[in-house]
Amino acid sequence: MTVSVITQNKIRILLTHTEVITCFGEYSTLYSLGPKVKNSLNLLLNDIITTHSLFNKNCKISAKIKVKENFGCEILLVALLPKRKTPDNECVFEFSDSEALTAGITELYKNVRNFRFLSHLYKTEKGYSLIVNCKNPKEQLFVLHEFCFEINDSQNAVEYTKEYGKPLILNCAIERYGKFFSKRLH
């Protein structure tokens, strides 16, 4: 048995013809992937994984088996690492009145059609606050900069708005507000 590390999360195991016969009995049982084969594979892979200690105990492992009858087989192990999700940032866009809010959101709605973020609209004592939850709200929503009087991305400002503001539209404020007013203005 030859074990080679391809990358940090890939291992290749080559079994000769005699090793396949010893572990699995015959090639036809290897094709069936029955309980005997799964048990033998599990024992073999557990031994290799603990020996090489490349894979985390909690990660899922994908095994790909290529069989060449009378020549042996190749088993490729790939650790399925969880994808890291970068946290989204919340940003508060403050509008002085409903005209500035309507102009800003309709302009944004015309320019950006594919919304993949949450947006909440609140009525505050300063006017209207739009909380947007996305990766880079200041960069992605640059269209709003000319219509709002303040942009604040601190967590305190977001929490203050959520606590003391009156919620008008939750989760999809830009889509709903933009859709409604872009139809009315045309």
What pLDDT does residue 109 have?
Answer: 79
18-22, 109-113, 128-132, 157-161: lowest mean pLDDT where?
Answer: 109-113
137 pLDDT tier (thresholds 50, 70, 90): low
Helix axes 17-24, 35-52, angle to 10 degrees: 120
Structural domain boundaries of the chain? Answer: 2-80, 89-185
Of the ranges 18-27, 49-58, 160-169, 173-182, which is most confident? Answer: 160-169
On the question of pLDDT at 134 being above 90, the answer is: no
For residue 123, name the pLDDT band (cuts at 50, 70, 90): very high
SS (H, E, C) the chain: CEEEEEECCEEEEEECHHHHHHHHCCHHHHHHCCHHHHHHHHHHHHHHHHHHCCCCCCCEEEEEEEEECCCEEEEEEEEECCCCCCCCEEEEEEECCHHHHHHHHHHHHHHCCCCCCEEEEEECCCCEEEEEEECCHHHHCHHHHHCCCEEECCHHHHHHHHHHCEEEECCEHHHHHHHHHHHHHC
Give the contacts of 142 (CB within 8 A, at least 6 positions apart). none
Examine the pLDDT at 186 and tell me if it is beyond 60: no
Strands 118-123 and 89-95: unpaired
Rg (CA), the chain: 29
Mean pLDDT taken over the chain: 79
Is the domain 89-185 a CATH 3.40.50.150 member? no
pLDDT-derived band at 122 (thresholds 50, 70, 90) equals: very high
pLDDT tens string 62-118: 878 888 888 888 888 887 766 655 556 788 889 999 888 888 888 887 777 666 678
In the predicted model, what is the mean pLDDT of residues 11-36?
Answer: 80
- In this prediction, what percent of the chain has a pLDDT beyond 70? 83
